[in-house]
């Protein structure tokens, strides 16, 4: 046990909480410093302040709805180790059964998120093959070829060759139909908030292949949701558990800078509830997002570890992906899962939330009249809208609401079908990280999302640094997950903890790290021989051929 070793974790989101979880159970003294007054970072939920009336709770808002794809392993393992009553937080996950696609011209096209061999799902899949989405046979063949290339390429080729190729070029998007561009090139926007013309194939390719495989493999759903507001069902139980174990968690504690002397961190300046303090520890884990960490890296830190220049170069590799909630006078269950709005210029996705919250009584929130919540993610803030002709970044908050509502109605109310009506809308809440500046006439986003742009792997750091008592835990760190997600943050935290254990020559069991994209069927890696063959070709300077010889 390491009872005398103190670790200061700077940032209290998923990465910081994950690192605290692993360290406290291994005997370290742990303090966490979070700048906001609500824990959880990008994963947190937040109250719609002032909406609660008559002693009721404020309506629940979200930075964006939480989803847990089937391929997540690190964060799922952590959920299983957080008590929740007589169960665990993992038991608060619920499967979705649909992933529907809405457009401006046709009725919603259903797509099963959980494949079962029944007449209904076979009919749906046949409809997709019959090109109800506008896909041609050439489109489908092209996408299959590109997925096959990713799945049968060796890890070295993916890292060293595909990192320099954007997804748009890799799938030869410009040679395909408009439907192909919207579905196969455009999904990167709704998935990771970035355009396929800038997103690295090293990142997008394995995720696209894994999610396609998960979506078409019978069994569990390819994605799950929490059965209530994120903080109630995950973050607060997690904090309670960690504090019971001895974690010292500080809110409204903003890190102002590092003091680095002789190649070591000797202290960190923090403003906590308006008071300046300096914290000292044996080890420091920077669990900030990249846009926060970059400006904090001092010349002294760069001298001690020149590789940190890469972090500073990554500061601008961010895009926006933020949520808006529409509170409804009636519960409108569009589908049992997600809806992708194919023609919405702001790359919208939504979840009808109440159906997944069976033990949440919305009458106990707000003024008691809300019956349903439509939670929407806005993933493209730079494309002109259909109502005001402006990108979201140049809209007032009210205009953002009006524009999103109009894009939803245009997509859902097609033909004789009317799903959303104006008189259904009770109120709305836009992620409080979005603030409109009337002087610049632009929105500011205090919490953007890191994007794996092409040719940036070289700038991404390991979880350890050349400063022997500084470690990094965030989704920009090099991980197997290789995607800006809470899964990536959790894995990065585990890597930081393992690096501390190694430095201490600790006898404690290191955190488990999983491979993410194995393309297994029935626990059998059916493509292993293809990748082994491709590795030989790669080492010989030969291109991929997708064969066994």
Q: Of 29, 190, 10, nearest to 101 (Cα)?
A: 190
Residues 6+ apart with CB under 8 A from 213: 519, 521
Q: Of 380, 324, 320, nearest to 347 (Cα)?
A: 380
Q: Of 202, 96, 206, 139, nearest to 519 (Cα)?
A: 206
Domains of the chain with CATH codes:
6-37+251-318+449-504 (3.50.50.60), 45-68+321-445 (3.30.9), 117-219 (no CATH)
Tokens of 374: 């439509």
CA–CA gap between residue 456 and residue 379 (Å, rounded): 21
Please report where in the chains the tokens 């997690």 appear, as a residue.
238
CA–CA gap between residue 236 and residue 246 (Å, rounded): 15
C-alpha 190: how far from its chain's center?
11
CA–CA gap between residue 408 and residue 419 (Å, rounded): 10
Q: Of 445, 323, 345, nearest to 403 (Cα)?
A: 345
Per-residue pLDDT of the chain (549 residues; tens, 9 = 90+): 445 799 999 999 999 999 999 999 999 999 999 999 999 999 999 999 999 999 999 999 988 778 899 899 999 999 999 999 999 999 999 999 988 999 999 889 888 776 654 444 444 444 444 446 778 888 889 999 999 999 999 999 999 999 999 999 999 988 888 888 888 877 777 666 667 788 899 999 998 888 888 877 777 788 999 999 999 999 999 999 999 999 999 999 999 999 999 999 999 999 999 999 999 999 999 999 999 999 999 999 999 999 999 999 999 999 999 999 999 999 999 999 999 999 999 999 999 999 999 999 999 999 999 999 999 999 999 999 999 999 999 999 999 999 999 999 999 999 888 999 999 999 999 999 999 999 999 999 999 999 999 999 999 999 999 999 999 999 999 999 998 999 999 999 999 999 999 999 999 999 999 988 877 666 677 788 999 999 999 999 999 999 988
Tokens of 326: 């529409």
* Cβ atoms 18, 25 nearer than 8 A: no
Rounded (5°) CA angle 316-320-322: 150
Residues 6+ apart with CB under 8 A from 66: 43, 225, 226, 230, 234, 486
End-to-end CA gap in the chain: 52
Q: The whole model's pTM is what? A: 0.94
pLDDT digits (tens, 9 = 90+) for 475-484: 999 999 998 9
CA–CA gap between residue 492 and residue 431 (Å, rounded): 26
Q: Return the axis-axis angle of helices 14-24 and 236-245, rounded to nearest 10°.
A: 30
Q: Return the axis-axis angle of helices 201-215 and 137-151, rounded to nearest 10°.
A: 110
CA–CA gap between residue 157 and residue 546 (Å, rounded): 13
Residues 6+ apart with CB under 8 A from 282: 5, 6, 7, 469
CA–CA gap between residue 44 and residue 544 (Å, rounded): 42
In sequence order, what DSSP letters do the residues of 262-322 get, joined into one string? TTEEEEEEEEETTEEEEE--SEEEE---HHHHHHH--HHHHHH-GGGHHHHHGGG-EE--E
Give the H or E element holding residue 413: none
C-alpha 244: how far from its chain's center?
28
Label residues 11-33 b or e (16+ Cβ within 10 Å = b). Answer: bbbbbbbbbbbbbbbbebbbbbb
């Amino acid at each position: 046990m390491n009872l005398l070793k103190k670790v200061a974790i700077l940032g209290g989101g998923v990465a910081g909480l994950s690192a605290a979880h692993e360290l406290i159970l291994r005997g370290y003294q742990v303090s966490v410093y979070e700048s906001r007054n609500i824990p959880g970072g990008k994963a947190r939920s937040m109250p719609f302040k002032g909406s609660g009336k008559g002693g009721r709770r404020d309506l629940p808002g979200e930075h964006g709805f939480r989803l847990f794809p089937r391929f997540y392993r690190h964060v799922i393992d952590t959920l299983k180790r957080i008590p929740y009553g007589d169960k665990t937080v993992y038991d608060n996950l619920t499967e979705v059964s649909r992933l529907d696609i809405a457009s401006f011209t046709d009725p919603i096209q259903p797509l099963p998120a959980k494949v079962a061999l029944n007449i209904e799902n076979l009919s749906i899949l046949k409809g997709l093959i019959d090109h109800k989405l506008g896909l041609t046979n050439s489109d489908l063949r092209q996408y299959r070829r590109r997925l096959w290339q990713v799945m049968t390429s060796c890890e070295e080729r993916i890292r060293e060759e595909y990192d320099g190729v954007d997804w748009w070029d890799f799938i030869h998007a410009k040679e395909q139909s408009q439907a192909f561009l919207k579905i196969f090139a455009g999904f990167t926007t709704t998935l990771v908030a970035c355009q396929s013309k800038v997103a690295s194939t090293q990142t997008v390719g394995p995720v696209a292949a894994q999610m396609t495989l998960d979506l078409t493999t019978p069994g569990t759903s390819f994605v799950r949701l929490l059965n209530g507001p994120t903080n109630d069902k995950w973050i607060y139980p997690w904090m309670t558990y960690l504090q019971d174990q001895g974690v010292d968690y500080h809110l409204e504690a903003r890190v102002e800078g590092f003091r680095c002397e002789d190649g070591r961190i000797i202290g960190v300046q923090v403003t906590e509830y308006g008071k300046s303090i300096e914290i000292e520890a044996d080890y420091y884990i920077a669990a900030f997002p990249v846009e926060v960490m970059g400006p904090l890296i001092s010349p002294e830190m760069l001298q001690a570890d020149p590789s940190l220049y890469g972090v500073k170069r990554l500061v601008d590799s961010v895009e926006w992906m933020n949520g808006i909630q529409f509170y409804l006078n009636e519960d409108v269950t569009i589908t049992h899962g997600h809806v992708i709005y194919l023609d919405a210029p702001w790359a919208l996705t939504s979840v009808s939330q109440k159906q997944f919250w069976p033990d949440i009584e919305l009458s106990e929130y707000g003024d008691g009249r809300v019956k349903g919540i439509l939670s929407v993610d806005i993933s493209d803030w730079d494309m002109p809208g259909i109502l005001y002709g402006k990108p979201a970044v140049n809209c007032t908050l009210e205009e953002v609401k009006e524009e999103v509502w109009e894009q939803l109605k245009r997509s859902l109310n097609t033909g004789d079908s009317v799903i959303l009506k104006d008189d259904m809308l009770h109120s709305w809440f836009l992620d409080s990280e979005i603030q409109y500046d009337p002087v610049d006439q632009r929105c500011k986003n205090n919490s953007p999302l890191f994007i794996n742009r092409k040719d940036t792997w070289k700038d991404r750091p390991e979880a350890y640094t050349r400063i022997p008592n500084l470690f990094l835990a965030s989704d920009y760190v090099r991980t197997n997950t290789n995607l800006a997600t809470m899964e990536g943050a959790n894995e990065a935290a585990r890597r930081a903890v393992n690096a501390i254990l190694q430095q201490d020559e600790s006898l404690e069991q290191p955190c488990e790290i999983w491979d993410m994209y194995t393309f297994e069927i029935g626990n059998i890696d059916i493509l292993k021989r293809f990748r082994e063959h491709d590795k030989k070709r790669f080492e010989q300077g030969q291109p991929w051929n997708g064969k066994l010889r």
